[in-house]
């Protein structure tokens, strides 16, 4: 199945000139969602991953499914103020502003081998912030996976410069 055909594109969202790639349509498709998770999981089976980390919010859906398939724990990386316990935080730049991510201080144990998941990599700001949080917590990021890559925005390159291997299932041109 061509998963790319299941992704909805919404022009001018959240601002003019942006082509928003919406994976909710892919996740709503039973066969498409299963294939997406299977394709994310398969190359991970031999990496000795101890936890999967997902970025708020679509990364939770994908990351939870991948963690389940790998029989590992799941780490929630959330936006500021959403986690109820003691947190570490990092502020980062988005394509259109700034934001802050947090992780519970006890979510990652020293030596944990973590695979990071989100729906899309664009400029890489969110993923780089998540990697920083995991590393500050004592974990090792063994890779990052995304359904969609927007290569023109350079995010993949930023993660690879941080020595994080990147796996994506599809690419779209432009923003």
As annotated, the active-site residues are: 58, 95
Structure tokens at 89: 């935080």
Structure tokens at 1: 């199945």
């Amino acid at each position: 199945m061509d998963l790319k055909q299941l992704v909805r594109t919404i022009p001018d969202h959240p601002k003019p000139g942006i082509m928003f790639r919406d994976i909710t349509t892919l996740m709503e498709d039973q066969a498409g969602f299963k294939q997406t998770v299977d394709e994310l999981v398969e190359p991970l089976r031999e990496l000795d991953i101890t936890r999967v980390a997902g970025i708020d919010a679509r990364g939770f859906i994908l990351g939870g499914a991948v963690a389940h398939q790998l029989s590992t724990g799941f780490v929630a990386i959330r936006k500021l103020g959403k986690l109820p316990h003691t947190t570490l935080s990092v502020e980062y730049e988005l394509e259109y502003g700034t934001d802050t991510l947090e992780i519970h201080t006890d979510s990652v144990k020293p030596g944990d081998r973590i695979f990071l998941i989100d729906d899309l990599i664009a400029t890489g700001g969110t993923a780089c912030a998540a990697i920083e949080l995991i590393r500050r917590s004592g974990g090792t990021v063994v890779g990052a996976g995304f359904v969609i890559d927007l290569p023109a925005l350079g995010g993949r390159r930023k993660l690879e410069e941080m020595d994080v291997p990147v796996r994506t299932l599809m690419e779209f041109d432009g923003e």
